[in-house]
Structure 1
Amino acid sequence: MTRIRVLLALLLLGSLQAHADAAPWVAGLHRLQLADPVDARPMQALAFYPTNADTHSLRIDGYPLRVAEEAPVALGQFPLLVVSHGNTGSPLALHDLATALARQGFVVIALTHPGDNALDHSRLGTLSNLYGRPLQVSAAITAARADTLLGPYLNDGKVGVIGYSAGGETALILSGAQPDLDRLQRYCQERPNDADACKTHGVLISDRSELTPQADPRVGAVVLMAPLSLMFGRHALSSVHVPALIYSGDNDQLLALEHNADALARKLPVTPDYRLLAGAGHFVFMAPCDSEQHAHMPALCNDAEGVDRRQIHRSLQRETADFFTQALGAPEPAERSAAAAAPAQQEHQAHP
């Protein structure tokens, strides 16, 4: 009898897991046009969202996608997320996470930071980049809520930010962190060979001295992957009170773990969920590469022996969706919204 109960429990668990893994929608793709708040020039963003339309395969900037372009949004109310990529990177490097979240009922804005992306490095090492990036994410949130395609289907709750590498720094500023520029300078004086963090020897170019770090009260949760966070001591983080899920590899070849993710996890006033991946490097958070990408950018595609990037990303997609559902509220398909509204409507009719 006990064996039968165990077997039934395992079958039920498997059924529930299969149901959880089955995405209720496919990913739509919508191009957003907005203005960079730093200089009012055009700024590009891609929106991934839940839809019921037919998908097709395409490549954008070398990244393979399977999406339904400019298709109608599925009926319902969905949480909004924004992706902030790393220095000289691309938001499409996280395309598998963005599309997976869209299939689970999130609207994900993948923003290209002007002056700090794969095609344009003109703002690297400047104040306009450090403080402009959070302003750009805030502008993307505003643009998504005002967009005629997306806006009607966004819930009115808090927004989540996904920050990879320097995007982690951006997400922290949006959450209330205050960068300590002296801390960066001291770090670079002690470690002048850190080519990634100390390109300008720890002294940022003061091209826009009027800019300051601006938090956005609409941000309610952050997921940080290999976050650049060495400018934040305990005092600089004292105003960050949003829940955080942090990932880092213990073999990060670009960012010193003890001065970034490890230190951040210790110093945040709200204890984060911190997950350290054994053997993983800095680029493991980029989407698994296809054969064409392996041929053109092997340094970004190859992982250490024993590191399974595909398995890591399956876990990352599931855990990120669970985290944002808990922090921001669950996506609400139209039928669920209607069912929830029915008792309230009946109560109103009974007591006008």
Structure 2
Amino acid sequence: MSRRLLFSLYLFFICLALCFPAVAAPTLQPGFRTLGIWNPDTSVRMDLAVWYPARRSPSRVDYGDWVFSASRGAAPVEGQHPLVVLSHDSAGSRFSLHALASQLARNGFVVVAPTHAHDNVDSMDTLFTAPQVTRRARQINLALDIALSHPDVAPLIDPQRIGGLGVGPGGTAALLIAGARLDSTVWPLYCAGKDEDADPYCTPWARQRMNVFAAAPDLSASYRDRRVRAASAVAPSYAMFFTPTSLSRIRIPLQLLRAEKNRLYTLQHAERLLGSLPQPP
């Protein structure tokens, strides 16, 4: 992730920290820990990475594909801090956005990042289906539930200053958490006249799955999480499942970012969403 993008995201979320007591930024370091939650009643496992402001100097943290610097297990800076929940792109994990998470922790934020089941580096079986985004939205809800009830993490969080950021389908989930709803009315016309080789959504395999997506029961259900006070959608996907009406329920500050240099840019729909938002993000 580029320094320019990191800076842009940081500026957006700083609005959550306007009342944060002034602390000299150079004294803060990214503390780090992981949480693994298993619910035997629902057979749901949630793996979370947590960054937070600390003072101990960081050291190397190695998770195979992701290597970064953080103060694992360091004592946190006392007080309540604004929280950002991160939703990674497909083929990612809870560690994917470690550079952004570390930068936010150095500036006084707590960051919680889940690994999304069935849409991560080890499994992408929900690609081009409704659960790819609706399940993510529910998992963001669950990540907040866990963070706000965990005896070690909850005391660090100011529940009045919570933001959500997602990349790719995570960006789409961030829109749902912010109040948007899915609407399939545009999808039947989306691929008309398009070269299937030019748009990944319009290949025969993807179209078959997308048709099932459009017919999903309760597609327009609300996933709004009122604990989230600001949202950022980075290179979001599935704009054909949103309309001005279904986006009109977003009433919180929203940041919309595109990533035109990404090789999967054809999957990203920031411009289409920009044109459909009733209010400018």
TM range (shorter): 0.7 to 0.9
Deviations 1:125-162 (A, max 9, x none): 33333311101001101100111111111112042111
Q: Which amino acid aligns with 1:144?
A: A
Superposition RMSD in Å: 2.9
Residue in 2 that maps onto 1:240: 250
Deviations 1:143-183 (A, max 9, x none): 00111111111112042111111111000011111112343
Residue in 2 that maps onto 1:41: 44
Matched position secondary structure for 1:99: helix
Instruction: Give the structure with the higher percent helix.
Output: 1
| Cα distance in 2 between the residues matched to 1:123 and 1:234 | 26
| Cα distance in 1 between the residues matched to 2:260 and 2:237 | 14
Q: Which amino acid aligns with 1:233?
A: T
Matched position secondary structure for 2:244: coil
Select which of 93, 113, 116 maps to 1:113: 116
- Determine which structure has more spread, i.e. the larger CA radius of gyration: 1
Residue in 1 that maps onto 2:211: 203
Residue in 2 that maps onto 1:138: 141
| Cα distance in 1 between the residues matched to 2:150 and 2:43 | 18
TM-score normalised to structure 1 length: 0.64
Residue in 1 that maps onto 2:9: none
CA distance 1:51–1:266, shift in 2 (3 Å): same
Q: Which amino acid aligns with 1:203?
A: N
CA distance 1:102–1:130, shift in 2 (3 Å): same
Within 5 Å, give how 1:1-352 maps onto structure 2.
22-35=25-38, 40-191=43-194, 192-193=196-197, 194-195=199-200, 200-201=206-207, 202-204=210-212, 209=217, 212-230=221-239, 231-256=241-266, 260-272=269-281
TM-score normalised to structure 2 length: 0.79
CA distance 1:209–1:40, shift in 2 (3 Å): farther
Moved more, 149-158 or 243-252: 243-252
Matched position secondary structure for 2:257: strand
Superposition deviation, residue 190 in structure 1: 4.5
- Same amino acid, percent of matched pairs: 28
| Cα distance in 1 between the residues matched to 2:143 and 2:206 | 28
Superposition deviation, residue 209 in structure 1: 4.2
Gaps of 5+ in 2: 1-21
**In 1, are the aligned partners of 2:132 and 2:169 still within 8 Å (CA)?**
no
The aligned length equals: 253
Gaps of 5+ in 1: 1-18, 273-352
